[in-house]
Amino acid sequence: MQEPPPPPARRGVLSLCVMLAVIMQILDTTMATIALPYMMGSLSATIDQINWVLTSYIVAAAISTPLSGYLAGRFGRRTVLMVTITGFTISSMLSGMAGSLEQMVVFRLMQGAFGAPLVPLSQATMLDSYPREQHGSAMALFGVGVMVGPVLGPTLGGILTEYLHWRWVFYINVPVGAVAFLGISTVMPRSAPSRVGFDWFGFATLGIAVGSFQLMLDRGERLNWFDSSLIVTLAALAALGLYLFVVHTATARRPFIDPRLFKDRNFVLGMGFIFVVGILLLATIALLSPFLQSMLGYPVLTAGLITSPRGAGTMLSMLLVGRLISRFDPRLLLGFGFTCAAVSLAEMARFTPEVSQTTLIVIGMIQGFGLGFLFVPLTTITFSTLPADLRNQGTAMYSLMRNLGASIGIAVVIFLLVRDTQAIQAGLVAHVTPFNPALRLPGVAEHWNLDTVGGRMALSEEVFRQARAIAYARDFGRLSLLALAAIPFTLLLQRPGRGAPAGGDRVAPGDAPRGATGSAGA
């Protein structure tokens, strides 16, 4: 059965508390990335070793995310949220206190496992706390944490590591987690747990598939992808796990994931769209941060401040779209968001090493504005026709697809960046000869004198710099085409009738929660 909604007087407090949990979890991922170089000295780790701080968290979160639907059905959403917030807060504190790499990896595994259910269960709580006509406003509020977190994370992480210590990247979660725990324990309604079974085989095969795939994406670039036997093994495990999971889900009496999820057209299409949004959001950040630092020479803190207006644009658009979604077709708003993303990425494809800060800020705000028009309409229409008893499991799968999109997007754009840089550099070097008249121009001949070691080194650095700039432009261009290609598919989404009952609030008599799915809201 659906979670009982809180009284209207408590709805605002509950919304604030679940939002704190979401922001805490999402900010932690991006802030930890900024702190990695500072951890190396404290933990006596190499570059390759310190990356396990991120890898351990990502893999644990990927495996645990699908489990959140079952846990909420078995123990009740309120209980699961309180336990996971407590566990995430404690493991954050322990991560800040870690004295060795081994301790840090263990505590980050705990963080990932406890943090995984926070986003999907918070989203389900927001959907159940508001009537359907207010789902747009609720998702606009929820989207502030989901979309703005990755944008502001590098800025906040840079400030904490620059002026305090890298350990404060983790310590800052302690007071936030305490407030979220107290608020949820006070205002969130209690619900009776359900006696549901657990599909161990389904969970194991899905966990192997997702965990192996995430580990392959995270380690692939460092191990030269399929030239490594480890990457080949991980890919085979992921494929085998996915095959067994699909077959088992289609044939088992009570599978881990309720097949009814995949009979809802809006939900299936929504998972595809959020996969694309995950690519656009995180892959762009993964490219923009090193572009600002390595190509333009900005310090970490300055780079974070330049990208922060992107988050301001997202917040502004979410406040606006929360009001517009009840008046306009959500598909039109979604198409507008993809258009903004495509235009801004096309402009980023024209960036050069001489791009101005004003241009960076303006384009970033346009892109952030478009992202707000993506998340809110997409989430609202995705869950508009999904039965309420499937929301816990639906939000878990939705979050998993967003995270997979982000992981795949980052891995692909970084691979293409490295490959294109090498190919373009090889092409440019072919023109670097003493017979090239451009190298004999006044001023150029003195700075890039091929007869001196210093001149040759300076020219080699400039060739690499220009090759890398072109490679960045190509990556941004590909992302722009992806956003553009998504626009026609918005027409496949179904818009619920204005006067129709909330499709997402109905539970048909024959749709009682299945014993093994854990999809009920408890």
- Between 69 and 132, name the one with better pLDDT: 69
Q: Give the mean pLDDT of 479-499.
A: 84
Q: What is the pLDDT of residue 518?
A: 38
pLDDT at 383 exceeding the cut of 90: no
A 10 A CB-CB count for 341 gives 30
Closest CA to 300 of 170, 415, 409, 163: 163
The answer to whether residue 438 scores a pLDDT higher than 80 is: no
Token representation of residue 156? 């906040």
Q: Please report, to the nearest 10 degrees, the dihedral formed by the alpha carbons of residues 105, 34, 123, 61 taken in order.
A: -20
Between residues 439 and 178, which one has the greater pLDDT?
A: 178
pLDDT single digits (tens) 229-241 = 889 999 999 999 9
Structure confidence at residue 255 (pLDDT): 86
| 340, two tokens | 């903004």
DSSP string, 462-484: HHHHHHHHHHHHHHHHHHHHHHH
- 105-137 burial, b at 16+ Cβ within 10 Å, e below that, comes to bbbbbbbbbbbbbbbbbbbbbbbbbbebeebbb
What's the pLDDT tens digit per position in 506-522?
443 333 333 333 333 33
Indicate whether 316 pLDDT > 70. Answer: yes
Can you give 389-406 as a three-state secondary structure string? HHHHHHHHHHHHHHHHHH
| Gyration radius of the chain's alpha carbons | 24
**Is pLDDT above 50 for 301?**
yes
Q: Look at residue 441 in the predicted model and tell me its pLDDT.
A: 55
Do residues 374 and 266 lie in contact, with contact meaning Cβ atoms separated by under 8 Å? no
Give the angle 178-392-139 at the CA atoms, nearest 5°.
70
In this predicted structure, the answer to whether residue 500 has a pLDDT above a threshold of 70 is no
Q: Between residues 441 and 117, which one has the greater pLDDT? A: 117
pLDDT band at 140 (very low <50, low <70, confident <90, very high): confident
How far from the centroid of its chain's Cα atoms is residue 47's Cα? 23
Amino acid making up residue 478: R
Whether 443 has a pLDDT exceeding 60, the answer reads: no
- pLDDT tens digits, 251-279: 888 888 888 888 889 999 999 999 999 89
Q: What average pLDDT does the chain have?
A: 81
Rounded-to-integer distance, Cα 29 and Cα 169, Å: 10
Output the pLDDT for position 52: 78
Distance CA 19, CA 411 (A): 29
457 C-beta neighbours (distance < 10 Å), count: 11
pLDDT of 168-207, one tens digit each?
888 988 998 999 899 888 888 777 667 667 888 888 999 8
Q: What is the dihedral of CA 171, 176, 181, 184, to 10 degrees?
A: -160
* pLDDT on residue 1: 46
Residue 338 has pLDDT above 90, yes or no: yes
Please say whether the beta carbons of 255 and 199 come within 8 A: yes
Q: Is the pLDDT of residue 344 over 90?
A: yes
How many other C-beta atoms are found inside a 10 Å radius of the C-beta of residue 307?
25
* Per-residue pLDDT reduced to its tens digit, 79-109: 889 999 999 999 999 988 888 888 888 999 8
Helix boundaries (H) for 383-519: 391-429, 444-447, 453-486
pLDDT for residue 455? 67
pLDDT class of 461 with cuts at 50, 70, 90: confident
201 vs 429: which has the higher pLDDT: 201
Q: Which residue has the higher pLDDT, 288 or 439?
A: 288
How far apart, in whole angstroms, are the C-alpha atoms of residue 113 and residue 349?
Answer: 37
Dihedral angle computed from the Cα positions of residues 221, 223, 228 and 229, in that order, rounded to the nearest 10 degrees: -110
Is 283 buried (19+), middle (13-18) or exposed (0-12) by CB count in 10 A?
A: buried
Q: Does residue 426 carry a pLDDT above 50?
A: yes
Instruction: Assess whether pLDDT exceeds 70 at residue 282.
Output: yes
**pTM, full prediction:** 0.80
